[in-house]
Structure 1
Amino acid sequence: MSAIDETAKIDIYLGKKIRLMRISRGLRQKHVAEAIGVSFQQLQKYENGTNHIRANRLYALAVFFRVDPSYFFEGLEQEGESALPFEELLKKAETEKLIKYFNNAANDNVREKILNMVKIAAK
């Protein structure tokens, strides 16, 4: 794989992670874009992996979402190994609802119980 192909793969993966974080927080592209100083169209291009995101913008997103910048790279090595590709999961309405409900859970203890319940149901 060429360096250009690898860069495109990373851009697409970062975009997926940005979109997942935005959806999980129940935010519109316009709101996130304004917070980091870009147009909503630019954020849309980041989320689609169409445009390369610079380090300073990625850092601004990490600050805005209150996550470590490494969040955006977690799981990059395993991308493509799952039975259902990441982007297909995000297209499902149920996934968006699940993420929102999970994020709105009362506390970490409740979220841990939800994870255990899902783990049992998935067996």
Structure 2
Amino acid sequence: MEVFVARSHPVDTHVGNRLRQRRALLGMSQTDLGNAVGLTFQQVQKYERGFNRISSSRLFEFSKVLDVPVEHFFDGMGATAVAAKRKPGRPRAPEKPADSDLNTKRETLELVRAYYKIRSKSLREKTRDLIIALARD
């Protein structure tokens, strides 16, 4: 007897990752986001992991609360996700773990949040220049 293990569609996973990334960048908890759109944090968590597919109306609500256009959730989607079709029982090439994307790493989000907390525009620019210079070495 063959056991079928349901996997999230790569598009749902990508959209969920982008949702999580934007929410975290704003310093918003899953509970905060859920309350803003009338969901529990568990439902937000399922969306972010790609376990549940986000309807277009719900995606529109998320875009308003997170202050991004709906297209934001699809930015950076690779050709693999676009071409993917869900076929039960067929092997699928392993996907990159979410942590392999620098934009979704906690460290990146913490740095970006801290950067934008610097009130002085000139100090922010100097900080950015310093980081760029350090990265070159």
TM range (shorter): 0.7 to 0.9
Q: 2: CA distance between counterparts of 1:96 and 1:18? A: 13
Q: 2: CA distance between counterparts of 1:114 and 1:120? A: 10
SS in 2 for 1:76: coil
Q: Mark the CA change 1:72 to 1:109 in structure 2 (over 3 Å): closer, same or farther.
A: farther
Give the residue type in structure 1 aligned to 2:110.
Answer: K
1:87 is matched with which residue? 98
* Contact 1:23–1:100 (Cα < 8 Å) also in 2: no
Q: Return the index of the structure with the highest Cα Rg.
A: 2
2:11 is matched with which residue? 10
Aligned length: 113
Backbone CA RMSD of aligned residues: 3.0
Q: How far did residue 60 of structure 1 move?
A: 0.4
Q: How far did residue 104 of structure 1 move?
A: 2.8
Q: How far did residue 67 of structure 1 move?
A: 1.2
Give aligned-pair identity as a percent: 29
* Contact 1:15–1:49 (Cα < 8 Å) also in 2: yes
Any unmatched runs of 5+ in structure 2?
1-6, 82-95
Q: 1:18-46 CA distances to partner (integer Å, 9 max, x unpaired)?
A: 11111111111001011112111010001
Q: How far did residue 103 of structure 1 move?
A: 3.8
Q: How far did residue 17 of structure 1 move?
A: 0.6
Q: How far did residue 51 of structure 1 move?
A: 0.6
Q: Mark the CA change 1:122 to 1:30 in structure 2 (over 3 Å): closer, same or farther.
A: same
Match 2:113 to one of 75, 100, 105: 100
Q: 2: CA distance between counterparts of 1:12 and 1:56? A: 18
1:122 is matched with which residue? 135
In terms of fraction of residues, the more helix-rich structure is: 1
